Amino acid sequence: MTSSALFMMEVSDASLAEIAGCTSRRIRQLAESGKLKRVGRNKFILGDAVRVLLEEAAENNEGSEIQKEKLRKLRAEATMAELELAKQIEEVALVSEFERAWGNRYGMIRVRVLNVVQRVIPAIIGETKEDRIRATLTKELRDALTSAANEEMQEEDLIEEELETDE
């Protein structure tokens, strides 16, 4: 069937209502108000009717608002179901746990980096070559950060072990 044949196809009010997602009664109301043109008893030209229904939907925001609210509710329910599933398979954590863990990590990194000064001073006292000072500082900072990263890994392993023993 060509698009022009589809455009000129006659459809019943029930078929048009099904296509538009409304009731047959709504289609008849639009016909009675003169917005939809009948070509027979409860028969309409599909192309003309679709244009009118689109214009009606654009003018009448009440229907679209209800649809938007239904869709919003459906999305919220889906999100809640996904969250419940994530909790059950332990893919989520409380924000407070997350904040505590990252606070500990940042604190540990801070301490390691600030301790670099005390470790570096004896190595660079009297040193006049900039590249040796830079190399010493870079090495100590890398060591401090690597140490903090390794300690974080050990902390995570300990937490996992504690969880396993609690079960």
R_g over Cα of the chain: 35
Q: Which residues contact 29 (CB under 8 A, 6 or more apart)?
A: none
The pLDDT assigned to 132 comes to: 93
CATH of the domain at 48: 1.10.1660
The pLDDT assigned to 138 comes to: 94
Q: What angle do CA 42, 59, 32 make, to 5 degrees?
A: 25
The pLDDT assigned to 151 comes to: 77
Is the confidence at residue 140, as pLDDT, over 90?
yes
Is the confidence at residue 87, as pLDDT, over 90?
no
The pLDDT assigned to 83 comes to: 86
Provide the domain limits for residue 146. 95-166
The span from the CA of 151 to the CA of 145, in Å, is 10
The span from the CA of 20 to the CA of 67, in Å, is 13
25 in the same domain as 46: yes
Is the confidence at residue 7, as pLDDT, over 80?
no
